[in-house]
Amino acid sequence: MLEKEIKLERLKEECKNCHKCELGKTRNNIVFSDGSTNAKIMLIGEAPGADEDKTGIPFVGRAGKLLTKLIEESNLSREKDFYIANTVKCRPPENRVPKDEEKKECEKYLLEQIKLIQPKVIVLCGATSAKSFLGEKIKISQIRGQWFKILDNIDATVIFHPSFLLRNHSEQEGSPRWLTKNDLKKIKEFILK
C-alpha cells in the first residue's frame, strides 16, 4: 500500500470516530470517498443521501447512477478518472443542505483529501459544493462550465448536481443535461492537455 493510501485510511478512521457535529449522531455510515486515489479529477458533492448513508459510498442512488452514466458518455471512467468526496461525510436529516458549522467540522477531512489526492482538476458538483469554495453569492446556472483557481491554485469548474438533472430530463441543446455532458467533455479535454 502506498503512503498516500495509508494516510487516506488513517484519515477515514479518524472521520469514522468523529462526532463533533449533530450529523455524527444520526449517521449509519460515514461516506468518505469513491474512485481512484490516483485520479486527476476530484469531484466534490454536497452531502450523502439515504442510499449513500446505507452503503458508505458517495453517489450510489438515482442521482449517482445518472452521474455515472454521464461520466461514461463522456468517455471517462468513474473508477479510474475520478476521486469522489463530499463537503460533509455524514447524511443530513431529511437530505437537507448541510449547515455551515457542519461543513466547517468536515472541512479538515476534505482539505486533507485534496492535499493527498493532488488532483489536476476539482469538479464542484452542485450549489453547496460550489458555495463552499467560491462564496455564497453564486448561481450555478451562471457559473457552471467556467474555470476558477481555488486553494493552492488548483483548477476548478462547476457542474449541475445530478439530482437537479433528474428533474430536468431534456437532452436538447442548451438543456442542463446537455450542458453537463459538454462540461464533462471539456473536463476530459482539460486533463489531457
Residue 123 belongs to domain with CATH number: 3.40.470.10
Residue 1 confidence (pLDDT): 61
Alpha helices by DSSP H, 48-159: 50-55, 62-73, 78-81, 100-117, 127-134, 140-143
Domain holding 28, by residue range, is 3-192
Please give the average per-residue pLDDT across 144-153, as a whole number: 93
The pLDDT confidence band at residue 49, using thresholds 50, 70 and 90, is: very high
CA dist 135 to 79, 92, 130, Å? 30, 21, 7
Query: What predicted TM-score, i.e. pTM, was given to this entire model?
Result: 0.96
Asked whether residue 15 carries a pLDDT value surpassing 90, the answer given is yes
Question: Residue 23 and residue 45: Cα distance in Å, rounded?
Answer: 16
Domain count, the chain: 1
Residue 89 and residue 109 in contact, taking contact as beta carbons nearer than 8 Å: yes
Question: Residue 129 and residue 2: Cα distance in Å, rounded?
Answer: 29
Cell of 73: 458518455
